[in-house]
Amino acid sequence: MSLEKATAIVLRVVHWSESSYVLTLFTRELGKISAVAKGARRPKGPFDAALDLLALCKVVFVRKTSGALDVLTEAKLVRCFRVRALGLGALNAGYYVAELLNELTDEYDPHPVLFDVAEAALLRLGGAAASAVATAAGAIAPAAEVLRFELLALRELGYLPTLEECVECGRPVAADGRVAFGLLSGGVLCRDCRPGKRQVVSLSRQSWQTLVAFARPDEAWRQTPLSREVRGEVRGAMGQFIAGIIGHEPQVAAYLER
């Protein structure tokens, strides 16, 4: 047993007993943890409002060995991401970020860069920083945030598909026509490598170029518009690709804007 301090995003809150919750937290310092918060459901409990879904908080907890749940002893709210205030699109996008963090990471496997990426995405979803993609059709912003977060998370965790050249042979994909995205191959395929591959999604050139722009570490994604057609196609491809990694379709995926 040891006492740990960490900065955490609340990913999941499950009722545990009449007075307690079990929480899944993504911490910057230690990665994902599961901890019981005793007394958290009592009015004037020891944790205040710090344990809401998507809250950013400073926590202190007792780290257990031998597979027992960690025990939260303190939680102090740092920031409440105001995704609820911005409507269902932002709220579901926020829930999706939490679900991906939970599904794609392992306990006690820290990824501080991913933590910062998630925090920034939730801040923008909450309207703290105006996104350049949030044009007059403001509803586009959550879809852009989701795609950007997915690709940065995949990059950080080593799952990013090869998008800029053929995943098999490294040559450029065709200069015209649709682009084949091999879900099992882990990237786009040129015309020579495409035959015989299973689970291949066909992308329009625009959808493919959108994925390329959003996956780059730079800020090219902010200048890349997401039309309705591109959004639908890209959501379908990303949903299937991520399902292949985590073993099932993410639950919140069905509620994301297409």
> Least distance (Å) from Zn ion to the CB of residue 193?
3
**Beta carbons of 82 and 129 less than 8 angstroms apart:** no
Candidate segments 88-96, 131-139, 158-166, 222-230, binder of Zn ion by CB under 5 A: 158-166
State both tokens at 239: 């949903």
Our finding on whether 169 is near Zn ion (CB under 5 A) is yes
Neighbours of 228 (CB within 10 A): 12
> Least distance (Å) from Zn ion to the CB of residue 68?
50
Among 145, 150, 168, 233, binds Zn ion (CB under 5 A): 168
Our finding on whether 172 is near Zn ion (CB under 5 A) is no
- Burial class of residue 90, CB neighbours in 10 A (0-12, 13-18, 19+): buried
Cα(78)–Cα(8) distance, integer angstroms: 9
Our finding on whether 194 is near Zn ion (CB under 5 A) is no
- DSSP helix/strand/coil, 106: coil
Cα(244)–Cα(169) distance, integer angstroms: 22
> Least distance (Å) from Zn ion to the CB of residue 15?
51
Cα(77)–Cα(49) distance, integer angstroms: 7
Among 143, 154, 193, 215, binds Zn ion (CB under 5 A): 193
Among 59, 166, 230, 242, binds Zn ion (CB under 5 A): 166
Binding residues for Zn ion, rule: CB under 5 A, are 166, 168-169, 190, 193
